[in-house]
Amino acid sequence: MAKMTLEQLRILREEKKGEMIKRDVEGKNIQIIVGMGTCGIAAGAKQTFDEIVKSIDEHSLNADVIIRQTGCMGLCHVEPTVEIVMPGMPATIYGKVDAATARDIVVKHVVGKTLVQNHIYDRPAVDIVKN
């Protein structure tokens, strides 16, 4: 994109805000967000990420799922962390997600719409931007 004017920045913000609220990116409504800060990567987030990509591929979910990365959400003691946002399920943060757990999450949570035992953690704080 070329340099913006004030007007263009405002339009872009409103447009993207809508996308973030709907959590609907490029027509895909399931988001899998992997924490890729230094702590996450050190704990194996890259392997987790790859396993999710593979697993999503195997279940032919590519049309519905977008896999994103984000920074550290503060839960360093349970890295790697993965958040799943999808219709019909509460937004869920999983911790200590190794490759096997990543597969489990795709099969049980994304496909089966059930939560995976023992790996759920709490979002540390409310979102001040939304409030």
Partner 1 sequence: MAYKHFILVCGGTGCESSRADDIYKELKASAEAMGVQDEVQIVKTGCFGFCEKGPIVKVLPSESFYVEVKPEDAKEIISEQIVKGREVKRLLYKDERQKDRIKVEDIGFYQKQYRIVLRNCGIINPENIDEYIARDGYAGLEKVLTSMKPDDVIEELKAAGLRGRGGAGFPTWRKWMFSKGVESDQKYVVCNADEGDPGAYMDRSTIEGDPHSVIEAMAICGYTVGSTKGFVYIRAEYPLAIERLKIALQQARDYGLLGDDILGTGFSFDIEIRLGAGAFVCGEETALLQSIEGNRGMPIPRPPFPAVKGLWGKPTIINNVETWANIPVILTKGSAWFAKIGTETSKGTKVFALTGKINNSGLVEVPMGTTLREIIFDIGGGIKDGKKFKGAQTGGPSGGIITEEFLDLPIDYESLTSLGSMMGSGGLIVMDEDDCVVDVSRFYMEFCVDESCGKCSPCRIGTNQMHAILVKITKGLGTMEDLEKLEKIGLAMRKAALCGLGQTAPNPTLSTVKRFRQEYVDHIVNKSCVAGKCKDLVVFSIDKAKCIGCSLCARKCPVNCISGDKAQKFTIDASKCIKCGECFKACKFSAVVKK
Positions in the binding site for partner 1 (CB under 8 A): 1-6, 9-10, 12-13, 16-17, 19-20, 35, 37-39, 41, 68-78, 81, 83, 88, 90, 95-96, 113-129, 131
Residue 29 or 69 having the CB closest to partner 1:
69
The tokens describing 108, both together, are 């049980």
Residue 63 or 122 having the CB closest to partner 1:
122
Who's near 9: CB < 8 A, 6+ residues apart? none
CB of 52 to partner 1, least distance (A): 15
CB of 91 to partner 1, least distance (A): 9
The tokens describing 61, both together, are 């979910």
CB of 93 to partner 1, least distance (A): 9
Report d(CA 70, CA 49) in Å as an integer. 12
Distances, alpha carbon 113 to alpha carbons 4, 20, 51, 58, 129, in Å: 42, 22, 19, 17, 29
Report d(CA 115, CA 86) in Å as an integer. 12
Residue 60 or 118 having the CB closest to partner 1:
118
Residue 19 or 50 having the CB closest to partner 1:
19
